[in-house]
Structures are given as structure tokens and as C-alpha cells.
Amino acid sequence: MEIIWAVVFALLGMAVGSFLNVVIDRLPSAKSLVFPASHCGSCQQRLSAKDLIPVLSYLALRGRCRYCQAPIPRRLLWVEMGSGALFAYLYWLYGLSPDLAASAFYGCLFLVLMVIDLEHGLILNKIVYPAMVVALAINIFLPDLEVVPGIASGAGGAGLGLGLFLLIVIASRGGMGWGDIKMATLIGLVTGFPLVLVAILLAVVLGGLVAVVLLLLKLRGRKQAIPFGPFLSLGAMAALLHGTSLVDWYLGLF
């Protein structure tokens, strides 16, 4: 039975991923999430149900529009597969539980923030502010969940994320911006204290490693800023799901 549920959540995750792709496409340019219906970005042909089956449509069409043969952005496939894998993994971690619902919500949130920052270099207020309100409500009304820090810890985490990132932004002199500060505050609210430190530390280490590799491979110049939101997203999810074990493991080294 377990495996059937895992498959069900993988499929659900892919379907959710296909909606997240619409969110990622439309929110940065202030388009409606509902109208118009899904269409090819190239020939504008309205897509039918068989064109919109997550993952499978992309593979069956070999990544090209059925009507005009224009390439379909590969990101659509990655987000659907990533979201499917994430949902199956969260089911494996938490089973059918409120923790599964809360962690899936945060997973979708950080996935959307990550991809929009990668594609546009933007961390949108219209995502971050409502997400803060939802995270606050979750902290107040569902404080007993494993993935929820509760009110005091959430407030402490938010304050620390804000303060720490103000310092980082000042120190980085333009490498990061207000979007990163707001996102660090949101992450503090979501993970609480002390896990916000784990999230930021992981993000800084991962971002630094990637920056060095890109520089060595000459894929980016020294002056080009790398969006930091994707690393914050990954750090936040790692801290949310495994932060406590990471801290225990680290303290066990001494």
C-alpha cells in the first residue's frame, strides 16, 4: 500500500508542478492565473487536455509544440518532475499527516521563488508578503507540527533572518538586495530559531561553491551577480526537513 500512496503523491506533485509552471510564467508579468487558458507561447494555439498531461505530454511530443513545433521550455518538465519527486519524498518522510500538507505548501512556495529568481532575478513581494501571512497563521494555529516552529521561535527566526541579511547585504555591496532580505525574513518565520541559521549557512556555502565553479569554468564573469534566491530556497527546505538532524550530527562531531 505504501508504494501506491507514494506513486499517487508523485503524480499529484507533477499535476501541482504543472500549475506552479503557470504561476511562474504569469506572476512576474502580472498576468491572470486563470485567463487565458494554457496556450503555446509561440503560436498561441490553445492547448487541449492531451497536451497538458504533466511530464508525459512533454516526453510524447519530444519537447515540441504539437501545432507549430516550437520548442517547449525545458523548465516546464523540470518543475513538474521536481515537484513530483518532492511530493513523493515528503510522503515518505511524513506519511499522510498535517506535516505532509504543511511541508508540501512550503516546498511549492520555495520552488516558485527559486525558479522566478533564476529566470528573472526577482523575488516578488506579491509572493513573499502573502507567504509571510500564511506562515504566521500556520505558526499560530498549527504550532504542534514537526515542521512548524511555533510563534516565539518563528518570530525569533524572522528577526534573526532580517538582521543577519541586512548585514550580509551591506557587506556584499550590491551583490544582494531587498528581495533577499525579505526572503531571509520569510525563511526565519518558516523554520524558526535556530534552524534559520542552518538555512542561511547552507545557502551561503552552496552559493559560494556554485559561484566559484561558474567562475572557474568561465561561465560567469566576476562582475555578474548570481541570484541568491535559489540557494536560499534550497537552504530553507533542507533546514525545514532535516535541520534538526543536521544540527545533532554537527554537535556530535565534538
Applying CB under 5 A, the span of 34-42, 73-81, 106-114, 123-131 interacting with Zn ion comes to 34-42
Beta-carbon contacts of 59 under 8 Å, excluding residues fewer than 6 positions away, are 77
Rg of the chain on CA atoms, in Å: 19
Instruction: Give me the least distance between CB of 31 and Zn ion, in Å please.
Output: 18
> Which residues inside 70-109 make contact with Zn ion, applying CB under 5 A?
70
Task: Give the count of beta carbons closer than 10 Å to the beta carbon of residue 193.
Answer: 18
Cβ proximity to Zn ion: between 31 and 46 the closer is: 46
Task: Compute the distance between CA of residue 101 and CA of residue 91 in angstroms, rounded to an integer.
Answer: 9
Cβ proximity to Zn ion: between 69 and 224 the closer is: 69
> Using the rule CB under 5 A, is 38 a contact of Zn ion?
no
Task: Compute the distance between CA of residue 159 and CA of residue 178 in angstroms, rounded to an integer.
Answer: 15
| Per-residue CA distances from 7 to 11, 82, 103, 219, 240 (Å) | 6, 14, 18, 38, 23
Instruction: Give me the least distance between CB of 48 and Zn ion, in Å please.
Output: 12
Cell numbers placing 140: 499560530
Instruction: Give me the least distance between CB of 97 and Zn ion, in Å please.
Output: 42
Cβ proximity to Zn ion: between 70 and 215 the closer is: 70
Annotate 56-79 with DSSP letters as a single string: HHHHHTTTB-TTT-PBPPHHHHHH
Instruction: Give me the least distance between CB of 52 and Zn ion, in Å please.
Output: 13
Instruction: Give me the least distance between CB of 38 and Zn ion, in Å please.
Output: 11
Task: Compute the distance between CA of residue 197 and CA of residue 168 in angstroms, rounded to an integer.
Answer: 13
1 and 71 Cβ atoms separated by less than 8 Å: no
Q: How many residues bind Zn ion (CB under 5 A)?
A: 7
Applying CB under 5 A, the span of 23-31, 42-50, 116-124, 238-246 interacting with Zn ion comes to 42-50
Instruction: Give me the least distance between CB of 7 and Zn ion, in Å please.
Output: 31
Task: Compute the distance between CA of residue 158 and CA of residue 162 in angstroms, rounded to an integer.
Answer: 6
> Using the rule CB under 5 A, is 42 a contact of Zn ion?
yes
Instruction: Give me the least distance between CB of 112 and Zn ion, in Å please.
Output: 24
Cβ proximity to Zn ion: between 43 and 201 the closer is: 43
> Using the rule CB under 5 A, is 65 a contact of Zn ion?
yes
Residue 5: which of 87, 61, 64 has the closest Cα? 87
Q: What residue type is assigned to position 3 of the chain?
A: I
Cell numbers placing 78: 523540470
Contact pick of 11, 22, 27, 40 for Zn ion (by CB under 5 A): 40
Applying CB under 5 A, the span of 40-48, 98-106, 175-183, 188-196 interacting with Zn ion comes to 40-48
> Using the rule CB under 5 A, is 67 a contact of Zn ion?
yes
> Using the rule CB under 5 A, is 43 a contact of Zn ion?
yes
> Using the rule CB under 5 A, is 201 a contact of Zn ion?
no
User: Three-state SS for 46?
Assistant: strand
Give contact residues for Zn ion (rule: CB under 5 A).
Answer: 40, 42-43, 65, 67-68, 70
